[in-house]
Structure 1
Amino acid sequence: MENPRIAVIGAGLMGTGIAQVILEAGFHVSLVDVSADQLENSKGKIYSFLNRKVEKGEIDKEYVNSCIERFTTFNSFESVTDTEFVIEAVPERLELKKQIFKKLDEVINQNAIFISNTSGLSISDIASVTNRPEQVIGMHFFFPVPKMGLVEIIKGVLTSDFVYDKVKKLSEQIGKNAVDAPNYPGFLVNRVLVPMINEAIYCVMEGAKPEDVDAAMKLGANHPMGPIQLADFVGLDTLLATMQGLYEGFRDSKYRPCPLLINLVEGGQLGRKTGRGFYTYK
């Protein structure tokens, strides 16, 4: 189908970014969330971003109007039953995602492809609560979605090749480069990146200054952002949850979360979003 209807479930940061990218690619997008306030906030962010692109001369007002015509918001799954693709972007909790997919399976047409934006949870486990596991697949976007060019595509044990091909094509149509990732905790990027950040936090715990660790990796490894800065940017709670997922999934001590990371999260110092993590933000 050349121009399928796509529903995005969850109007948080990731859902908003995903909806925007798909909308800009010319598709019809329905954003679904139980919170009317969250939907309005998401809509405002998307329109504001599009208008900034008009000011920069990247798109014209006519195209913004066409995006608005192709964008709808709803509070219930029943409002998007005829969609071709459903992209779930709710918080990274397995039981919540399984609950969402079970409900979607009950009300969405049987031909729809279900996609999870999980950053590391098992696609096979998520798919197991549906009656269409062969139509469930992972498509992991990266934050901020409009700027990051990568998506990881993850097949569950029963995902069909047909569904994989459709999602690979969709990735290309929305301007993303897709890589195949194994259905194991962390997939590719987080499995490599998060333990590196965790090790950097161990260095801080053992006496290194955060700014020295960041300078070492920026100047010595040519990283655009230091690992401690990146930890604060991502959110220390998110980082900890990912490390815990890796640790529990592989049962390997190399994925053990650093005690300093645990302490900061328990103390509510989560990075930029709380104004304080390893660094202090105004």
Structure 2
Amino acid sequence: MTDTSATQIHDTLVLPYLNHAVRMFEQSYASRGDIDNAMRFGCGYPRGPLTTLDEIGLDVVRDGLAARYAETGDNLHKPADLLEKLVAEGRTGKAAGRGFYTYEGDAVVADDETPSADDQPQLKHEIAKVGVVGTGTMASGIVQVFAQAGYDVVFVGRGEDKIAGVTAGITKGLDKLIERGKSDEETKAAVLGRLTGATSREALADVDIVVEAIAEDLDLKLELFRDFDRIIKQGAILATTTSSLPITQLADATSRPESVIGMHFFNPATVMKLVEVVTGPSTSAEVNETTLALCAKVGKVAVSCADRSGFIVNCLLFPYLNDAVLLSETGVELDVINDAIKAEAGFPMGPFQLLDVVGNDVSLAIQKELYAEFKEPGFAPAATLEKVVADGHLGRKTKRGFHDYS
């Protein structure tokens, strides 16, 4: 790659990401609003990919992708059929008044794809008591989210020390809110009063929904869901926070697959607004609608998708990060790439900064899953990503990744 201008770096990394979002929408995997909200609230991007396409111009993006496809022959760079179709129809984006959205001047206006205000999800199941399994950072955050929203929460851990750790962590978080003037002692007492810690799963017997937030180990989760099936009352919702494992397999471990759903919170759960609500083929419409409504009640932005590797966010994010590593292998400096993406795309972090925050081992595992599911040659993990993980340079958590944090 001879041209390392910020614009060229942007086009090399961002245009395939936009194309992938078009294909996701084209396949009816998720709605336009959910795809955009997923990347805004899950990654902190200023705009979702389909809104970005409308602003840049679908014809401009199509031409840029066509040029890359001619150069690389990579199917991921071939303009999506829907992109070609919309350009042919003159729906080239904001400037034309219609792209993925419809515009009057600078404002998005309702069209035939805009959800009706009457279609807001409703609680089809009564939710009074929430169960959470796990005592790590994610589980603790989920416990706090529900308790702050007014729900009684039973949380289960492997020992009294783990239970005490969750309560201490939530207390510390509430104290910080008080220090910032965002809460008070009365609210703190009320939140802590809604918490019940337990070391036995039997304490979950009468919860209306349980959210599993244990390690990303399929065998452990399968054993847990079999136990949920034995312990928890019929009609309760059985949810998993997994970001990568098949929800369908967890559902099949129970006698009530219609009650199983994914609730993929983002870390830290108390701060991040997004929840990906993931349905398996057997998940009932009532369970899905109730879960979406519950997310809204606890102040989250819920997006809907089906059980497929990566869901929305990881499926769009990690191929872009992998492409950044591939670009660095051509000799472009990491900081040049980071700075170009922040300046040109407005992303809050450059790709190598984000890789180090997520963890390069986590990133590699997700990229491998995407490659296995979609069989796209362009999804093959970059050799440099494989090497930094093999060398133990996992990112901030090991004080060294693509950057040095010692």
What is the TM-score of this pair, normalised by structure 1? 0.95
Q: Select the residue among 370, 374, 378 that pairs with 1:246.
A: 370
Q: 1:277 to 1:35 in 2, by over 3 A?
A: farther
Q: Is the 8 A contact 1:77 1:108 kept in 2?
A: no
Greater shift in the superposed pair: 199-208 or 230-239:
199-208
3-state SS, counterpart of residue 8 of structure 1: strand
| Amino acid in structure 2 at the alignment position of 1:72 | T
Deviation readout 1:204-226 (Å, 9 max, x if unpaired) = 23322221111111001111111
1:88 deviates by 0.7
Are residue 123 (structure 1) and residue 281 (structure 2) matched? no
Shift of 1:120: 2.8
Letter in 1 for 2:319: P
1:236 matches 2:360: yes
- My pick for the range that moved more, 250-259 or 266-275, is 250-259
TM-score (ref. length: structure 2): 0.67
Measured at CA, do residues 3 and 55 of structure 1 come closer, stay the same or move farther in structure 2, by a change above 3 Å?
farther
In the TM superposition, 1:144-223 aligns within 5 A as 144-223=268-347
2:212 aligns with one of 88, 93, 100: 88
One-letter amino acid matched to 2:243? S
Q: Residues 34-183 of structure 1: matches in 2 within 5 Å?
A: 34-183=158-307
Q: State the percentage of identical aligned residues.
A: 38
The alpha-carbon deviation at position 49 of structure 1 amounts to 0.7
Change in Cα spacing, 1:184 to 1:3, as seen in structure 2 (3 Å) is closer
- Decide whether aligned partners of structure 1 residues 36 and 211 sit closer, same or farther in structure 2, where only a CA change above 3 A counts: farther
Relative to structure 2, which stretch is displaced further, 90-99 or 188-197?
90-99
Cross-structure match for 1:261: 385
- Relative distance call for 1:55 and 1:11 in structure 2 (3 A) is same
Q: For the Cα contact (< 8 Å) 1:84–1:112, is it kept in 2?
A: yes
From the CA coordinates, give the structure whose radius of gyration is larger: 2
Query: How many angstroms does 1:96 deviate by?
Result: 2.2
Residue type at the aligned position of 1:42: V
* Cα deviation digits, residues 104-135 of structure 1 (max 9, x gap): 21111122110011113222121011011000
**Distance across 2 between alignment mates of 1:264 and 1:44:** 35
What amino acid is the match of 1:117?
A: T
Q: For residues 139 and 89 of structure 1, what CA distance do their matches in structure 2 show?
A: 10
Higher RCO (CA-CA < 8 Å; seq separation 6+): 2
State the distance in 1 between where 2:387 and 2:168 align: 36
**How far does residue 138 in structure 1 lie from its aligned partner after superposition?**
0.7
Q: Where does the alignment leave 5 or more consecutive residues of structure 1 unmatched? A: none
Letter in 2 for 1:200: A
Contact 2:211 / 2:240 at 8 angstroms: preserved in 1?
yes
User: Can you list the C-alpha shifts for 1:174-195, whole angstroms capped at 9, x where unaligned?
Assistant: 1001111122100111100011
Shift of 1:3: 5.1
Q: Report the count of equivalent residues.
A: 282
Where 1:162 maps in the other structure, the secondary structure is helix
Q: Distance in 2 between matches of 1:3 and 1:127?
A: 20
CA apart distance, 1:42: 2.4
Counterpart contact for 1:247–1:253, Cα < 8 Å: yes
Matched, 1:26 2:155: no
Instruction: Name the SS for the 2:403 alignment partner.
Output: coil
SS at match of 2:197: strand
Q: Show structure 2 runs of 5+ residues with no match.
A: 1-124
* Rounded Cα–Cα distance in structure 2 between residues aligned with 1:200 and 1:193: 11
Aligned equivalents of 2:366 and 2:241: distance in 1?
Answer: 14
Amino acid at match of 1:142: F
SS at match of 2:271: coil
CA–CA distance in 2 between the matches of 1:31 and 1:280?
A: 37
- Matched residue type, 1:112: A
Alpha-carbon offset, residue 95 of structure 1: 2.4
Q: Distance in 2 between matches of 1:211 and 1:274?
A: 20
How far apart, CA to CA, are the structure 1 residues paired with 2:254 and 2:293?
Answer: 24
Deviation at 1:268, TM superposition (A): 1.6
For 1:100 and 1:189, how far apart are their aligned partners in 2?
A: 26
Three-state SS of the structure 1 residue aligned to 2:278 is strand
**How far apart are the structure 2 equivalents of 1:204 and 1:40?**
45
Structure 1 SS opposite 2:302:
strand
User: How many angstroms apart in 1 are the aligned matches of 2:360 and 2:137?
Assistant: 16
